[in-house]
Chain A
C-alpha cells in the first residue's frame, strides 16, 4: 500500500516552520470532517454528494504525495457520478491510511 509523505508540504513550506505547522494543523482538522461527511453520504447512497466529497478529499490525497491513490480517488469520483460504487473499498482503505498517518504528524 502506498504511504503518505511530506514532500509537497516541505517544498511548499520552503523552510517556513510556522506555515508548515499551520498547514498540518488545518489538514488534521479538515480531513476527519470531510471523511465523516463522505461516510455519511455513501452509507445513505447519496452518490452525487459523495462524489463531491471525494473530489474535495482528492486534494488532501495529492498534498500527501499519494499519486496512485489520487488516481483511484479520481476514478472512484467518476464512478460515483454514475452511481457505481466499485473502488469504494479501495478508496476507504486510502482514507484509513491517511487517518493513521495524520496521527503521527
Chain B
C-alpha cells in the first residue's frame, strides 16, 4: 500500500516511518507537516492509505478529510482518545491509533486497512459537489496557501475577473484563482444562479430587480436576456 503521513510533530512522523518500515507491503511516498501541503500533493497523486494526525494548527485532520472528494483509507493518529466516536462517522477511517503507538497495535490497524474496501460508489463516501456543499454548508477556498472556510449561505455574489473570481460574503470579499464554473458546481443549485456569464448570485439576497439588473447588497449585477426567465422563475412573485 502506498501511504503518506500527515503530522505536524516531527517526532510522530519519525515514529510512524519506523513502524511502517517493519511492514513489507507499506511504502511511505511522502510525509507532510500540515494538511494543506498534503491536499496539494493529493491533487496530483493517488495513495492507498493516509496516516493522519487530528490535532494540527489551522487545519485539523477532520477539516482535511472534508476536503477530499474520494478519500483513500485513513488511519487516524492522535494523543486524544476523545475523538473516536466522531472518527467512525467517516467511512474512509479504518482505524484510530492513540499515541504512543505500539507495533502490535499498529499491525492490527494495517490489517484493518488491508481488509477494508472503500466503495467509492457508496453515497456516504462519494459526494458530488452539490452534495458536498449542501450537506456541509461550507466551502473551502485557497488564499495564499491557506484554505479558508466560507459558510455558503453567507456568499451573496461571485464575479469572474479573468483568471480569478471575486467571492463576496456578508463579512469579507475574497479573490480566488478559480473559474466561475468550478465554484458554481460546488454551490447548491436552489440557492445560487448564474445570471450573466460573469456573475453568479445568491437568489435569497436579492433586494430588487430592475430591467436587466439585480441589486444585491450594494452591488448592481447585470442579468443577461437568456438567464432572465430562470431568475424570474425562482422568485416568489405576487
Residues of A within 8 A of B (CB): 8, 11-14, 16, 19, 22-23, 26-27, 29-30, 52, 55-56, 58-60, 62-63
Contact = CB atoms under 8 A, between A and B. Distances in A.
A23 B79 contact: no
B11 A26 contact: yes
Given A12-B103, A26-B10, A52-B55, A62 B18 contact: no
9 smallest CB-CB distances across A and B, nearest first, come from A62-B100, A58-B79, A59-B99, A59-B79, A26-B11, A26-B10, A26-B14, A63-B100, A19-B18
Given A11-B102, A12-B18, A27 B11 contact: yes
Contacts of B79: 55-56, 58-59, 62
Contacts of A60: 11
A59 B102 contact: no
A8 B9 CA distance: 18
Given A58-B79, A59-B11, A8 B100 contact: yes
B99 A62 contact: yes
Interface residues of B, number: 18
Contacts of B19: 12
Interface of B: 8-12, 14-15, 18-19, 22, 55, 57, 79-80, 99-100, 102-103
13 contacts: A8-B102, A12-B19, A23-B14, A27-B11, A30-B9, A30-B10, A30-B11, A52-B55, A56-B55, A59-B12, A59-B99, A60-B11, A63-B100
Nearest to A25: B14
Contacts of A29: 10
A55 B19 CA distance: 22
Contact of A52 (B18, B57, B99, B103): B57
A22 B14 contact: yes
